[in-house]
Amino acid sequence: MKITKLYKKKKVALLSILFFILLFLKRRDQLIHPDIWNEDGTINLVSYLDSGWFNLFEPVQGYYITISKIITNISMSISPLYYPEISTYITWVFIIVVSLIVVYAPTILEHKILSAIIIYFIPAYAEVYGLPLYTFWFAGIFILLVALWQEQKNQLLKNILLIIGGLSSPIIVTLIPVQIYRLIILKNKKEELITLIISIILSFIQLNIMLNQHAIDTNTHFTIEIIKNLYFNGYIAFYFGKYYLGALLMSDYSNWIAKDFTLLLYGGVALLIFLLVALVVSYKDKWIYIFYYLLFAMLASTLYRTHFEITYTSPRYFFYIYIVLSWLIIYISNKNIYFEYISITIIILSMITSMQIFCKESEYLNWRQHLHNCANSKNSYSIPIHFAGSKHGAWHITLNPKQCKELIENRVYK
């Protein structure tokens, strides 16, 4: 028994180190010289200065991202002067914990260690990794895990993860159909009903704020033109072909349509045919339908959010799509030897593709130095906040000398 416990502890430690190394390789600059990024500075930090912990009830871009706000508020409470470092360290711990939960949660995922590792090999730029603001994307992974949860296994943990994810990510609304399906097919009706009720409550909270904040475009309609655009605008090529054939592209991904559209289109069609054949062969598998629904739901959510336009500059919108697609391919690899060979090939090509755009670099803005400059200035001071990683084109927040002195001396809400 002691040997088993020791082995488990060592395994957790080794996996934690592995996930840290992968995260470091993707976002080392953020750990070496932490900075503040995007709405984390212009909204979360500013809202904390205005209202303290009450900013948890203030949405960002039209929905609640509670986990991101909590990290911001804890870090600001500890030391505003060292906010970038503290918030980054908490963020990295959270991402590693999410990865460990993927490994150890009682889900139907196959090859769970690989399923966790694959999160770091999404074939899109490393936008969401390592930043406090984007922890809500990782919290959303909890919602995917709840959808794939084994029946009658640790229901308390499942619902805790559901609440964290549901209050942090708008994709909670996609879970309701899954929970209705689970309620129908699974034996433990009581537990599934509880999870369904929680999902509905959380979805109502997110949908209500999204409607009030106009984050949902009620004028968008699914039309025949959009169906035609599945081909002409390259959705199949862009979301499925590029997933595993993107390594064949030039480094400038914005020109991919002109250069490699035909290849990616055929590759995307081939992948969809493979997934369709796998579904037909596995039609008796009650779990596989959840994977396919999640893939469709993540793709539909992204297309709706981006107004059915292909997003070249927002790699975060590939995050859930490619995670679910990878998990699905890994899942069906166990169906037969032929699926295994094809799945392994696709996953390897996908990981090679991700290596072409694996790391996100950034220049150092030096938050502390700007705070001191602000405190010593006579007028309001504009502090740069990262937008894309370079000093040129950075966003800014404007603070007065009094505010900066209070931040340096940690007298905010004391």
pLDDT given for residue 6 in this prediction: 67
Q: What is the rounded distance in angstroms from the CA atom of residue 161 to the CA atom of residue 98?
A: 10
Residue 142 CB partners (closer than 8 Å, separation 6+): 98, 101, 161, 162, 164, 165
Q: What is the rounded distance in angstroms from the CA atom of residue 355 to the CA atom of residue 29?
A: 17
What are the residue ranges of helices labelled H in 233-333?
A: 235-236, 242-245, 256-281, 288-305, 319-332
pLDDT in tens, 247-279: 776 445 444 444 567 888 889 999 999 999 999
Beta partners for residue 55, in sequence order: none
Beta partners for residue 386, in sequence order: 37
In whole angstroms, how far apart are CA 157 and each of 101, 149, 169, 409? 10, 10, 18, 39
Q: What is the pTM of this model?
A: 0.92
In whole angstroms, how far apart are CA 98 and each of 31, 122, 207, 257, 298? 18, 16, 25, 35, 19
Take residue 73 and report the two structure tokens written for it. 């508020």
Q: What is the 8-class DSSP label of residue 150?
A: P
Residue 43 CB partners (closer than 8 Å, separation 6+): 58, 60
Q: What is the rounded distance in angstroms from the CA atom of residue 44 to the CA atom of residue 9?
A: 36
Cβ burial of 113 (10 Å; 0-12, 13-18, 19+) is middle
pLDDT given for residue 146 in this prediction: 98
pLDDT given for residue 221 in this prediction: 55
Neighbours of 270 (CB within 10 A): 16
In whole angstroms, how far apart are CA 291 and each of 75, 175, 247, 287, 298? 37, 12, 26, 7, 11
Helical pair 319-332 and 337-355, crossing angle rounded to 10 deg: 150
pLDDT given for residue 82 in this prediction: 96
Q: What is the 8-class DSSP label of residue 220?
A: -
The stretches in the chain having pLDDT less than 50 are 250-251, 253-258
Q: What is the rounded distance in angstroms from the CA atom of residue 286 to the CA atom of residue 244?
A: 27
Dihedral pair phi/psi, residue 151, rounded to 5°: -70, 145
Is the sign of the CA dihedral 387, 391, 392, 396 positive or negative? positive
pLDDT given for residue 256 in this prediction: 47
Asked whether the beta carbons of 279 and 287 are under 8 A apart, the reply is no
Residue 235 CB partners (closer than 8 Å, separation 6+): 229, 303, 310
pLDDT given for residue 225 in this prediction: 57
